[in-house]
Amino acid sequence: MGIFSNNKQEHYDITGIELPTHIGIIMDGNGRWAKKRGLPRTAGHKAGADNFRRIARYCSDIGIKYLTVYAFSTENWSRPIEEVNALMHYFKDYLQEALDDFKDDTIALKFLGDRSRFSPELQKLMDENEEASAVHDGMVLNMAMNYGGRAELADAFRQMAAKIESGQLKAADINEQLISDYLYTKGQPDPDLIIRPSGEHRTSNFLLWQSAYAEYYIDDVLWPDYTSEHLNKALLEYSKRNRRFGGV
């Protein structure tokens, strides 16, 4: 599942290679980054949030059409309250800035996950960002917040079951395309490449349905240290993969 890179910065030329249409990134390693420096975990999340801005902008600049970042999982609520509160603070700061930053940009911002557990203020900022950027025709930036792949599928199945009960849908109508149409990513292509910094070899409940044929790339650098050159290396590796989608 992928290859490892070291922390030495090298230049990787991606000129002329075939880029993935949709990249997913599991932004992992903030806490370990902070621990290595004797800092509180919240400092790692701040550094990770700053790096998210840089990498998202870079993906847009090089022509990636869809970027999905795993910002906060359904399981992350079990973390210490001060850590959760810090993450909510960074989300709020980012979304407030995004309303201005994306005003003259082409990036369209979308949110994947159950928003109901977030504060009314944060939910309002999500709505405002989606509405303000809906007319943009550049990269679609999906932020997976209070997201879990299993929860997403359960939600889709509940919606389909409700329509079966009301007579709007028949069980025989359910197929793979219909299930995809009830997911948070409805209308978007499945991810071609999923990148996980930090060296962990887990999907962590991220885009379980959508990633069935995604290429995975594991990198041992922690997320706050992840640079555009690390991403370029992953893109070069991806361009060499032979994607058979179950065929020969």
User: Any idea which residues carry the catalytic annotation?
Assistant: 28, 76
Q: How far apart are CA 27 and CA 30, in angstroms?
A: 8
Q: Taking the CB of residue 2, how many other CB atoms lie within 10 A of it?
A: 18
Do the Cβ atoms of 26 and 217 come closer than 8 Å?
no
Nearest to 41, CA basis, from 242, 172, 224: 224
Do the Cβ atoms of 119 and 130 come closer than 8 Å?
no
Inter-helix orientation angle 120-133/81-101, to 10°: 30
